Amino acid sequence: MEVLNSIPIELELEAVIKRMRLRKRNDNILDNIREMLDIAVPIARPKAVYEVSYVENKNEDSLQISGVAFTSRVLRVNLDKVERVFPYVITCGRELEEIDIPSTDFIKGYYLDQIKETALALARQQVESYLKKRYALGQLSRMAPGAGAEIDWPITQQMELFSIFGGREKVEELIGVRLTDTFLMVPIKSISGIFFPTEVSFESCQLCPREQCIGRRAPYDPEVVKKYRPEEA
Q: Which residues bind ligand SF4 (CB under 6 A)?
A: 147-149, 204-205, 208, 210, 213, 215-216
Cβ at position 153, least distance to ligand SF4 in Å: 11
Phi/psi for 165 (5° steps) reads -100, 10
Name which of 138 and 219 has its Cβ closer to ligand SF4.
Answer: 219
Whole-angstrom distance, CA of residue 143 vs CA of residue 149 = 13
Cβ at position 46, least distance to ligand SF4 in Å: 21
Name which of 165 and 202 has its Cβ closer to ligand SF4.
Answer: 202
Name which of 146 and 166 has its Cβ closer to ligand SF4.
Answer: 146
**Distances 184 to 71, 120, 131, 175 between C-alpha atoms, Å:** 19, 16, 25, 15
Cβ at position 202, least distance to ligand SF4 in Å: 12
Burial degree of 86 (CB within 10 A; 0-12, 13-18, 19+): buried
Cβ at position 71, least distance to ligand SF4 in Å: 18
Positive or negative, the CA dihedral 142, 148, 154, 158 is: positive
Name which of 88 and 153 has its Cβ closer to ligand SF4.
Answer: 153
Cβ at position 78, least distance to ligand SF4 in Å: 14
Name which of 53 and 192 has its Cβ closer to ligand SF4.
Answer: 192
Whole-angstrom distance, CA of residue 79 vs CA of residue 55 = 8
**Distances 161 to 56, 68, 145, 165 between C-alpha atoms, Å:** 15, 8, 8, 8
Whole-angstrom distance, CA of residue 84 vs CA of residue 107 = 44
Name which of 138 and 215 has its Cβ closer to ligand SF4.
Answer: 215
Cβ at position 87, least distance to ligand SF4 in Å: 19
Interior angle at CA 111, CA 219 and CA 183, nearest 5:
60
